[in-house]
Amino acid sequence: MTDPVVGLVLEGRYRLEERLARGGMSTVYAATDLRLDRTVAVKVMAEHLKHDPSFVDRFTREARAAAMLSHPNVVSVSDQGSDQGLVFLVMELVRGRTLRDLLQARGRLTVAEAFAVLEPVLSGLAAAHRAGIVHRDIKPENVLIGHDGVVKVADFGLARAVAGTGQTSHTGGVLIGTVAYLSPEQLERGRADARSDVYAAGIVLFEMLTGHPPFGGDTPLAVAYQHVHHDVPTPSEEVPGLAWQVDELVARTTRRDPVVRPLDAGAFLADLEDVRSDVGIPRVPVPTGRSSAGPDTIRPTNRPRTTSPQRHPSAPGDGTEVLGASSRRSGSRTSMLPGMGAGPTTDVAGARPAPPRPRPGVPDHIRRRRARFAVAIVLLLAITVGAVGWWFGSGRWTTVPELVGLDREAAIGQLQEAGLEVGSVEEVFDEVVPVDQVMSADPEGGDAIRGTDVDLVVSKGPERFAVDPALVNRPIDEVRAALAEAELPLTFTEVLDYDNDVPEGNVTGFDPQPGTQLARDTAVTVYVSRGPAPVAVPALIGVAAADARATLEQLEFVVEETTGQSSEVEIGEVMAVDPPAGQEAPFGSTVTIQVSDGLPQVTVPDVVGDDVDDATEELEALGLRVEVQTFIAGSTVRRQSPGAGDVVRWGDTIYLLVIA
């Protein structure tokens, strides 16, 4: 059944020629870029997903992520848009197969072949990680192997910047990605960084060596469980003879704890090179899976290949080309000079004619010299007339080559080959076109006189700005002046923040971090120190005075100590703190602790003559014990011991003598 999309021209530029592949989320077509006359790949989002904002965002994110990268091992994306109800992005067309196709055809690869495939994959990922991009969906389907042996990483649809949320892509609560290659942290917490790509690349290495992923199961949940709870087995268990260093490399890159994996793809690549050196693994060409029986028949564009010269049917197959009846013949050849008759000819039999009869009186050598001179003059005149005629005819005209999309050096080379001169070269920033690639030319095409100047506009790549890291820990007034002088087109917002190390009024940091390459109008937060944060006074009642002092001094408080008496706190322990426990006090302020000297002292009141019950109540209210001795039945206190005015300790006993 014919695909109804084939034949459409998107945005008046991309004509869809043939369907290359179809997946659950998108379909890839080979297309012709009518503006640049080149073949590209166009990925079109599936009809049922184009109204889902999350999937449209994934498409847009893929275009932006890939456009940030310019690396020979990353599939380049050049455009993105929507037209005629189709959401699409335009990317480089790679003629070849995926690593999945190769593994299905071969079963497994040798160690040397696996390393040959993985090295460019890690090189492309390292470039992405340096740019702050995590791929998050490394698998054999996203590794493309061209017919020329060039390996490229594709499909940055799940990629996110490291500085972003770090969350693995979700749609409607469903985690997107191939579970056989997802790291434990992606499965457990939905978080991914460069080490998650390292894990997936390690799984791919295991699969190349053994022919299958390390974990299998009846359901994705079963596979995910094994990733989270089991270590990846060593490849040598299935492929005897593998060096232990290769096993260790697979184990190191697929640790369940991301902390002990290589930090990023660059570190993984360095480890791989160390293993190659230690084991002596030879460098071999990337396996493409192509047959060696003959050249590839797939053309890089949709234009017909130039017809090669036909061989005569009766020719014996010696490589002789039939060029046409008016061409040079093998039997005879005739030469004519302008202004002269026919020169000497060779007949069919090959016999030379008789030489001309010499003129009388002229020596032969003089005659030959004059003849050679005359021939030279005639040839010179003929060449001059021909050159002048050619120049004023078609010779002074040339064709301006198509330069858009070429890098600067290649464009200059093509201009020089066409006899044209390079005029001005203007460099401009562009978020999509890679650095040093030609964006436009003037004149942009057609015929031009040789020597004409062609002006070029060349991309400087994305426009980026960075805050100087040296501004951290400098006074905010100096930082404001430095930022104003730098004229950075960024939006700065100041936020006060406590900091125990940076003096009050100095800048403690920026978000994003200083030195980060930022696009125009990016919001940047400037954190300004409010000085040290206030500290809550700890609970110290009942703590030994020495321990309380040490605790407060660790919190940078200045400690003052007083003494007091307490009936509840033992001698030498803290009985009171000022400010009280739980209250916040300024960093480095003074905290006073009151240390117990023991029981408080009480001055005995005069209760002689008082009613014994009233006297007892008054004394007990002061914390004293009372013993009553009655001599003759009565209710009036006649004597007390200790006497009135004596100082006793809290809890001592007062004796009362009651007499009628």
Instruction: Evaluate whether 658 touches 636 at the Cβ level (below 8 Å).
Output: yes
**Cβ neighbours, 10 Å, residue 362:** 10
**Alpha helices (H) in 403-448, listed in sequence order:** 408-417
Instruction: Evaluate whether 268 touches 122 at the Cβ level (below 8 Å).
Output: yes
Which helix or strand (DSSP H or E) is residue 464 part of? Answer: none
Looking at the DSSP bridge assignments, the partners of residue 160 are 134
Per the listing, tokens 């017909």 go with 304
Per the listing, tokens 């190191």 go with 252
- Report the alpha-carbon angle 523-525-528, nearest 5: 160
Per the listing, tokens 């695909």 go with 3
Per the listing, tokens 């940091």 go with 509
Looking at the DSSP bridge assignments, the partners of residue 564 are 596
Distance of CA 86 to the CA centre of its chain: 28
Residue 552 and residue 590: Cα distance in Å, rounded? 10
Catalytic residue of the set 33, 79, 137, 499: 137
Tokens of 429: 């920033």
Instruction: Evaluate whether 138 touches 204 at the Cβ level (below 8 Å).
Output: yes
Cβ-based burial of 433 (10 A; exposed 0-12, middle 13-18, buried ≥19): buried
Residue 402 and residue 411: Cα distance in Å, rounded? 9
Query: Is 597 part of the annotated catalytic residue set?
Result: no
Instruction: Evaluate whether 75 touches 152 at the Cβ level (below 8 Å).
Output: yes
**Alpha helices (H) in 230-317, listed in sequence order:** 244-253, 265-279
Instruction: Evaluate whether 427 touches 462 at the Cβ level (below 8 Å).
Output: no
Residue 96 and residue 73: Cα distance in Å, rounded? 14
Which helix or strand (DSSP H or E) is residue 38 part of? Answer: strand 38-45
Residue 371 and residue 394: Cα distance in Å, rounded? 34
Residue 84 and residue 177: Cα distance in Å, rounded? 29
3-state secondary structure of 312: coil
3-state secondary structure of 118: helix
**Alpha helices (H) in 466-507, listed in sequence order:** 476-486
Residue 481 and residue 148: Cα distance in Å, rounded? 55
Structure-derived torsion over alpha carbons of residues 642, 645, 651, 655, reported in degrees to the nearest 10: 30
DSSP letter for 276, please: H
Whether the bond between 469 and the residue before it is cis, its omega within 30 degrees of 0, is no
3-state SS record for 56-108: HHHHHHHHHHHHCCCCCCECCEEEEEEECCEEEEEECCCCEEEHHHHHHHHCC
Q: Which amino acid type is present at position 267?
A: A
Please list the active-site residues: 137
